[in-house]
Structure 1
Amino acid sequence: MEQVDLLILGSGPAGCAAAITGAALGLKVLVVDRNPASRKAGDALPPQAAPILQKLGVVPDPAWATPTAGLQFQWGSETAGTTSFAGLHRRFGLALNRPVFEEHLRQKALEAGACILTSGPEGLQETPQGWTLKLQEGTEIHARCVLDATGRQAWVARQLGIKRHSLDAQVALYREVDSTDGPPWIQVTAVEEGWWYISQLPHARSEMFFTLPESPAYLEKIHQGGWKVAPASVTFLSQVAGERWLAVGDAAFTFDPIASQGISQALASGYYAACAARDLLQGRKEAILAYTLTLLKATEGFFREWAGIYQAEQRFGGSIYWQQRHNLRSVQLPWWQQAELFTWVQAR
């Protein structure tokens, strides 16, 4: 039976950020992923992601990153507008070739000293010393701490019986079109049945359309063929951390793509979860509270702006999509109660 300090299930951005950080902190790290190759669409990192990239030692490479100058948007008005990243943040954003970017992160994790195993989990059992993971081929791995980086499926959390909540039903239709000379601007356009997000990646133009499964536009594009479908709803776990486990990235919380925070927050949560895991293994249980509060801070910022962004578009009041977006609600995540309870227990 192999023994590790930190077992990470999932090798996407959150899992790799945790692996890079955990290994750099001196932990014995193992990453397990059934299929490491990314199947996700191209995506982008906002200028605000620069600090977490620096913490991870990740330097943008033209092989996976194309600078983006800002946003060109038509939202709430027939008049198009622009937002310059350099003017606001004094740096560019990055449009990503997602598979190449994630492979780069995995290589960084290996260079840091982590191991990556291609295999599927079969079962997870808590033990007095930590956890025992059984893999599909029968191998068992013992870990002192586990991170759930399995995305929306939140495999570890499901094994623990932790519920996942959804706040809306948005989906994404996406495809890539051959192009290497598109404009350096991300184009965001509201239309009657949803909104478009178009960006130039290093190798292609990424086209994403966000809508509802019951919309005519969705059915039309499915009929056309050539489009892939992915969930794009806001979801969260009822609990994101326990005595020897933590959820990171999309496993913990999925952001609406309109916020452009998904990948950057996944990287940040992986980094802070690895730091928390190190502290937990050193007996500092307050690390659970610190990590939970870190996630709460990120999600609170999102909820402050979420509904307002969609409220700014009032041209399509008869659309089912926009009617639903105008009735979005922010919630107080149950993590607050868990944080308050932990604080009370520590004070006893």
Structure 2
Amino acid sequence: MSSSRDYDVVIVGGGAAGTAAALTLARYTGLRVALLEKQLFDDYRAGETVSSSLFSMLDFLGVGRDLLDGAQLPAFSHAAAWGSAELMSRDAVFSSHGHGLHLDRRRYDAILLEQARLAGVALLRPAQLVQLEHGDPWRLRVASEGQETDLTARYLIDCSGKQAAIVRQRKRPIHTEDSLVALYAYYQLAEPQFLPHRTLVETTRHGWYYAAPLPGERVALAFITDADILKRLRLKEPAPWREAAADTSHVRDIVARLPAPSALRHYAIHSRVASLPADENWTAAGDAAACFDPISSLGIGQAMASGIHAARVAEAFLAGERDMAAGYRRSVFAAFETYLQMRRGFYGAEQRWRDAPFWQRRATS
């Protein structure tokens, strides 16, 4: 059974970038917009700590802060043992912007998807992209809710994350900088207990740890390293995972209070940037356009900002203005170059394991 629908803009991917693009178009243009998301967000999604600057973007997108109730915890401080074993803390009370947030990404992403639907965006979820044909318009075949639907789009925005479905389909060059991965352990506490509302970062010989509380009496603990090192250390196995955490100075104090992980999830988070078109009827945003090392804190905020920018590019292109696409392309490259300089500074501050492969690779990159 097949039906056909015509849209001005179709967005592939309903994460932070995709929902930001959809809400921008829905709130500020009269364009017909569809959003495709292949997941129901019923699995674990990497939790993330964001700064209070997120609120200004949510205000722009018309998403009330009260809607985040149950999807966030206040993040009052950040503590790091980076460059030495001593733990250095920075409190949000000394920031003019106020405290940040620990987000439950499953709830947060679901909230933004629902807000996009309520704003008039046609939401297909779960939706699998079966066929994609470039042209003017684009032609898409989507499997959703037991039927295949044919869509057309005058413009396409690739927000499909690291899959970068349209970027790869159009064979655009992608520069990859490293092979970084994150192994996340998610813990569900059996009963409420006090855990500081802060992030904790600690370096080791083979990479670095990130720990943060999440809403619903949960905790996320991640180890960031390179793919070959993760495989060699066998950290996906429960015993090596516990032993490695116990061999730290600060993370071990948190792990000692936690039960066995409810789940272990492995994510590819390598740094990369795509060469986006300046004169075609599509662009990309979020991880489909550029991926960043999480130490840079260029995560959900950067994804949402790029989604908003990509929406403006789509609107301008359909109005016959092509300069904005070229400017967006340049801005993606410029942001990635700035990020690489910042990353060199972060990793250069850790000098204790200069003979270890993980740190050697970043000393010369």
Same fold (TM over 0.5): yes
CA gap of 1:255–1:325, structure 2 versus 1, over 3 A, is same
**How far off its partner does 1:240 sit?**
5.3
Q: For each residue in 1:78-136, what CA deviation from the matched residue of structure 2 results, as whole angstroms up to 9, or x when unmatched?
A: 22111223323431111110100000010110111101112211222223x32111224
Count residues with an aligned counterpart: 327
Q: Which residue of 2 aligns with 1:160?
A: 170
**How far off its partner does 1:138 sit?**
4.2
Equivalent pairs: percent with the same residue?
30
CA gap of 1:272–1:36, structure 2 versus 1, over 3 A, is farther
Q: Tell me if 1:116 matches 2:123.
A: yes
Q: Tell me if 1:135 matches 2:142.
A: yes
Q: 1:317 aligns with which of 351, 354, 363?
A: 354
Q: 1:236 aligns with which of 273, 286, 292?
A: 273
Tell me the distance in 2 between the aligned counterparts of 1:133 and 1:175.
37
Moved over 4 A (4+): none
Q: Secondary structure at the match of 1:275?
A: helix
Q: 2:364 aligns with which of 323, 327, 344?
A: 327
Q: Secondary structure at the match of 1:299?
A: helix
Tell me the distance in 1 between the aligned counterparts of 2:277 and 2:81.
37
Tell me the distance in 1 between the aligned counterparts of 2:90 and 2:13.
35
Q: Which residue of 2 aligns with 1:56?
A: 61
Tell me the distance in 1 between the aligned counterparts of 2:6 and 2:343.
43
Q: Which residue of 1 aligns with 2:257?
A: none
Q: Tell me if 1:6 matches 2:35.
A: no
Q: Tell me if 1:46 matches 2:51.
A: yes
Q: Tell me if 1:213 matches 2:250.
A: no
Q: 1:195 aligns with which of 198, 202, 208?
A: 208
CA gap of 1:241–1:252, structure 2 versus 1, over 3 A, is farther
**How far off its partner does 1:242 sit?**
4.1
CA gap of 1:241–1:202, structure 2 versus 1, over 3 A, is farther
Q: 2:181 aligns with which of 171, 177, 186?
A: 171
Q: 1:249 aligns with which of 275, 282, 286?
A: 286
Q: List alignment gaps of at least 5 residues for structure 2.
A: 240-262
Q: Tell me if 1:17 matches 2:20.
A: yes
CA gap of 1:193–1:89, structure 2 versus 1, over 3 A, is farther
Q: Which residue of 2 aligns with 1:276?
A: 313
Q: 2:89 aligns with which of 72, 82, 88?
A: 82
Tell me the distance in 1 between the aligned counterparts of 2:113 and 2:59.
16
Q: 2:37 aligns with which of 19, 33, 47?
A: 33
**How far off its partner does 1:153 sit?**
0.9
Q: Which residue of 1 aligns with 2:342?
A: 305
Q: Secondary structure at the match of 1:236?
A: strand
Is residue 10–residue 35 contact of structure 2 (8 Å, CA) maintained in 1? yes
Q: For each residue in 1:181-232, what CA deviation from the matched residue of structure 2 results, as whole angstroms up to 9, or x when unmatched?
A: 3201110111111101101111211101101233268633212284221112
Tell me the distance in 2 between the aligned counterparts of 1:218 and 1:210.
14
CA gap of 1:96–1:190, structure 2 versus 1, over 3 A, is same
Tell me the distance in 1 between the aligned counterparts of 2:346 and 2:32.
43
Name the stretch that deviates more: 85-94 or 27-36: 85-94
Tell me the distance in 2 between the aligned counterparts of 1:21 and 1:302.
26
Tell me the distance in 1 between the aligned counterparts of 2:323 and 2:184.
42
Question: Which amino acid in structure 2 is aligned with residue 210 of structure 1?
Answer: I
Tell me the distance in 2 between the aligned counterparts of 1:39 and 1:114.
25
Is residue 41–residue 175 contact of structure 1 (8 Å, CA) maintained in 2? no
Is residue 188–residue 195 contact of structure 1 (8 Å, CA) maintained in 2? yes
Q: Which residue of 2 aligns with 1:334?
A: none
Question: Which amino acid in structure 2 is aligned with residue 160 of structure 1?
Answer: R
Q: List alignment gaps of at least 5 residues for structure 1.
A: 329-348
Question: Which amino acid in structure 2 is aligned with residue 123 of structure 1?
Answer: Q
Question: Which amino acid in structure 2 is aligned with residue 66 of structure 1?
Answer: L
Name the stretch that deviates more: 271-280 or 101-110: 271-280
Q: For each residue in 1:160-192, what CA deviation from the matched residue of structure 2 results, as whole angstroms up to 9, or x when unmatched?
A: 112322111111010111245320111011111
Tell me the distance in 1 between the aligned counterparts of 2:230 and 2:123.
43
Q: Which residue of 1 aligns with 2:133?
A: 125
Tell me the distance in 2 between the aligned counterparts of 1:295 and 1:238.
9
Q: For each residue in 1:291-321, what CA deviation from the matched residue of structure 2 results, as whole angstroms up to 9, or x when unmatched?
A: 2244344334322311110010011122211
CA gap of 1:125–1:220, structure 2 versus 1, over 3 A, is closer
**How far off its partner does 1:46 sit?**
2.1
Q: TM-score when scaled to structure 1?
A: 0.88
Q: TM-score when scaled to structure 2?
A: 0.84
